[in-house]
Structure 1
Amino acid sequence: MPFNVKHIPEDLLKSIISKKAVAFCGAGLSMPIQRSNSKNLPNWPQLLLELIELAHRDRYNFSGLLPEIELAVKNGNLLAVAQELQEVLSKPSIAKYLRDIFLDKKLKPNQTHKILVQIPFIGILTTNYDTLIEGAYTLKRDGRIPVVLTQEDLDKVPNPLKLDDEFVFKMHGDINRPETIILGSHDYQNILFRSTAYRSFLETLFTINTVLFVGFSMSDPDVENLLERLSGIYSRNNDFHYLLVERGRLNEFEKKRLALDKRIFTIEYNNHDGTHSEVYDFLFHLNELTSLDGKYRREYESRFYTLPVSQTNVTRISAFISYSGHDKEYAVNIAELLSENGIHVWMDDFNVKVGDTVVSTIESGIKESDYFIVLLSNNSINSDWVKQEIELAYITNHERNKPKIIPIVFDSLIRNKIPKLLMDIRWLVVNESNIFQKIQRLIEQLKAS
C-alpha cells in the first residue's frame, strides 16, 4: 500500500517550502545498497562486527573478552565497542577497511537517494560513511559536486546554514579524509563536549530549522547522545522535528516521550514486504507537494487519497471535548449545542460504553476527531486525565494534521497556569455570562471552514 499523502504534516511542508528544513540521514537509507561481495551496506552494529572479525584475523584475541564484546554489540553498547576497536586496530587499518566498504565501485545511489536530493532541503546531515548522498547530488547537478563538510571545516565555515549552495554535513567524518573519521566514544566526547563550533552549529540548526530524520530507529547511541546533549535547547525551540519510522518500531510511550521531551514527532510508514518501499513513496510525495502551492497541493492529494465508499457521503465534522468532571455541566451544554448544529461530538459520558477499555477508547476518539476542544479551568489544569488528553491531541495534531486544538479558557483561570503545550495556540476566553454566545460563534466558524 503506498504512503498516505494525508499523513504528511503540514508544518513539515511549510518548513521545506520556506527554506527552513534539513534532512538528517542514518544507515537505514543506505542498507539496501549491495556491495561487490554481494553483502548489503552495514548498519553500525554490523560494521562493528565486521571490524571485530578484522581484528580477529589480525590475531588479536581481545584478552579473551571476544564473547563479551560481541554481546556488548548485541546489547547496543556500540560506542564502547567502537572505542575498543579503535584502540586495538591501527587508524590506517580502520581507514583502509572503511574505504574498501564505502568506496566500493559497485555502490550507486538508488531511487531513494535520488528523490531525497530533489526535495529543497537547505542541506543534509548524515552519520553515514558512504558517499551516496553526494553522488545523488552530483547526478542532479550534472556532475557538479555539492559542498561536503565535516566537523573539521567549521572553523572555516562556521555556519553552513548560510551557504548559498546545498551542503552535505558528514557527522562521522568524510571517508575521503581519514583524519576526520569519528568512531569511538572518545571521539564523540571530544566533538560534542569540547568543540564549541560544532555545538554552536548543531544548536543553531535545531533551534531555527525543522529536521526530518530518515533511516534512523532512534536507538542509534550516537544520535541519542547528540539529542541528549542538545536537550537544553528544546525548551526554547519553536520548531518541530520529524522522524520517519517503520510502523511498530516505537511503542506509544516512546513516541510520546520523543514528542514531549525532544519535539520530535513520528511519521509512520508500513513495511509489510520488508523492502521499506514506502520510504521512497513518502519522499516522492514530499518532493511533489513542496513544489506546489496550496490549491494544486489539494488537487494532488485527492489523486492519491480517496475515502472509502462507506465514507464518501459523510460530511459531518467531529469534535472531542476534554474537560474536568467539575465542569461537566458546561461540557454537556457545549456538546448539545455542537450536536444541534450538525457536529458529531465525542465525549466520555456519551462514547465510553460498559466494558470498553477507557484509555484506548479515548485515544481512538481523539485521533478520529477533526477538533479537540479542551475546557481550561482551575479544575481541569489539575486533572491528570485532561493533561493526558492534551498531550495526545498535541502529538496527533503534529503527526496527522488533526485534530485542530481549540482551548476554551475561563477568564478566572490564572494565565501562567495554562499548559505549556497550549501556549502557542490561540485561545477562546470565556466567562459564565458569554460562554454560549462565544461557542455559537465558534460553531459558525467551524462549519464555514
Structure 2
Amino acid sequence: MLEETLTKEELEANTRRKYSLIDFIESGDSILMAGAGCSGMLYPAWPDFVAALEAAALAHAPDFKGDPKDFLDFADKVKDCLGDDKYYAFIYKTFKPGATTHEQFHEILCRLPFKGITTTNYDTILESALNVIAPAASHSLHFEGTTKAKIHEFLMSLNHNKNLPKRVAHLHGICGEDASIVLGGKEYSSKYGFSITNQKDTLYDKVKDGMVKEEFQSALIRYGYEWPLRRKLLWALLATRRIVFIGFSMTDPYFKKMLEFVKEDVGTYYSESHFLVLRVTKGNYKRSMDYSQRLKDDYGIETVFYFDEENDYGGLPKFIAELDVINEPKQVTSKIGEETLPLPKTGSSIVRDKLLAIAKKQNSDEN
C-alpha cells in the first residue's frame, strides 16, 4: 500500500496532487493520453509482448539474434526476420478485439470529461468503451490513409465542439492498419522525422561537399529537420494543451525526445503543464520518486502515484474507479423543502445560480 511505501510527507504531497488531478479533469480542460497500462488487463503487458515478439522470430528463424534491451533495433530485426506480412499479422493477432472488448474501468475512463482522447496503443479497447457511452459507426482515428478533413475534425473537437464526434487518436497506429504502425526504430524515425541518435556533426557538415537526393532526405531525418504530421500534432498537444498520461511509464525514447523539443522551444521548467499517473511498487519506489522529480523540473509533469505489488497490475483499474467520483452528479442543497437536488450537467451555471437565488428569495418572502 502507498501508506506503507511513501513517507508521511510524500503521501500527503501525493494526496494533494491527486486532488489537483481530479479538479483538473473535472474542469474539462485536459486531454487523455492512454498508454499500454490501460490495456494490460486484456492484452499482454509490455515485457510479455516483447518476449512474444522474440519467440515469433526464433520460431521463424532459430538463428535469430536481437537484444530486447535495445528495443527499437530489436523490433527492426524482428520485422526483417518475419517479413512485413507476417510482422503486421503478428501485431494484428495480438491486439485485435477479443471476446471481452473492454472492462468497466474503461467506461469510467471514457466518461470522464476529457477534451479529447489519444493513445499509443494498437488495440481498440477505448473505442469499445466509447461505443457503449455514445454509439457510433467509428470512434477510431489514425493518420496514414486518413483524409485530412477527419484529422481536422479531431483537432476542432478539442475546442469543446459538441457537434463533432469524439474519437480516439492512435498516435502509434492501430492494429489492422499496417501503414500506421509505429514500433521499430525505422518506423519511429520515418514517422517522427528525426533520429534519437546524437549526431557529432551538423547537417551543414554533411551537405557542404554535396550529396545525392536520397542521401539528403535521409540526412534531414537523421538531423531532425523533417516535420511529419505526427510530430507536428504531438508537439502542438504537448506545448499548447495539458495532458493526463495514464498507463504510461514515460520510457519511450521518442516521446522523451519530443518533450525535450518542447522544453527547448517554450521552456517548460518547473511549470504545471501535465499530469502523469504512475505505478509504484516497493521495489521501484526510490527510482520512481527520483524520476518524478526530474519530470517535474524539466517538463512540468506532476506525478500522482498508485500502488501495485510486484508483478501485479491491478492497481490502475482501482485508481481509475476512484476517479468515477468526477462522473457523479454534483449535489446542491435547496432551501425549498430542504431537499437535495442534483446539479444539471449541462446548461449555464450563471443561469442556474440566478434561478436558485430567485427561488431562495421567493421562499424567504413567503416565510
Same fold (TM > 0.5): yes
**Please, which runs of 5 or more residues in structure 2 have no aligned partner?**
4-10, 158-163, 194-225, 334-367
Correspondence for 1:55 among 51, 54, 57: 57
Q: How many residues align?
A: 280
- Once residues 32 and 188 of structure 1 are traced to their aligned partners in structure 2, the CA distance between those partners, rounded to angstroms, is 26
Letter matched to residue 156 of structure 2: K
Code of the residue aligned with 1:247 in structure 2: it is V
Does residue 270 in structure 1 map to residue 344 in structure 2?
Answer: no
**1:240 paired to 2:273:** yes
Amino acid of the residue matched to residue 211 of structure 1? I
Measure how far apart 1:59 and its partner are. 2.7
2:246 pairs, out of 207, 210, 214, with: 214
Structure possessing the higher radius of gyration over alpha carbons: 1
Structure 1 residues 274 and 167 mapped into 2: Cα distance closer, same or farther (>3 Å)?
same
Alignment check: 8 A CA contact 2:247 2:277 kept: yes
Q: TM-score, normalised by structure 2?
A: 0.66
Q: CA-to-partner distance for each residue in 1:206-240, whole Å, 9 max, x for gaps?
A: 22322111112222334334433443345169652
How far does residue 176 in structure 1 lie from its aligned partner after superposition?
Answer: 2.5
Counterpart of 1:190 in structure 2 is 190
| 172 and 263 in structure 1: CA distance in 2 versus 1, 3 angstrom threshold | same
Please show how residues 146-295 of structure 1 align to structure 2 within 5 Å. Answer: 146-150=139-143, 153=146, 155-156=148-149, 157-158=151-152, 160-163=154-157, 164-193=164-193, 194-235=226-267, 240-248=273-281, 249=284, 250-272=287-309, 275-289=312-326
Q: Is the 8 A contact 2:242 2:273 kept in 1?
A: yes
User: 2:32 and 2:60 mapped to 1: Cα distance?
Assistant: 39
1:92 counterpart = 2:101: no
TM-score, with structure 1 as normaliser: 0.55
What root-mean-square deviation, in Å, do the aligned CA atoms of Structure 1 and Structure 2 show?
A: 3.1
Three-state SS of the structure 2 residue aligned to 1:251 is helix
- Pick 1 or 2: higher relative contact order, CA cutoff 8 A, min separation 6: 2
Change (3 A) 1:205 1:187: same
Question: Which stretches in structure 1 are left out of the alignment for 5+ residues?
Answer: 34-40, 297-449
| Matched letter for residue 171 of structure 2 | M
Q: Distance in 2 between matches of 1:12 and 1:196?
A: 32
* Pairing 1:7-26 to 2, within 5 Å after superposition: 7=16, 9-26=18-35
Asked whether the equivalents of residues 109 and 132 of structure 1 are also in contact (C-alpha less than 8 Å), the reply is: yes
Letter of the aligned partner of 1:267 in structure 2?
V
- The equivalent of 1:43 in structure 2 is 45
For residues 203 and 221 of structure 1, do their structure 2 counterparts lie closer, same or farther at Cα, with a shift above 3 Å needed? closer
**d(CA) in 2 for partners of 1:89, 1:273:** 33
Match of 2:98 among 80, 101, 105: 105
- Rounded Cα–Cα distance in structure 2 between residues aligned with 1:196 and 1:159: 19
Are 2:142 and 1:133 equivalent residues in the alignment? no
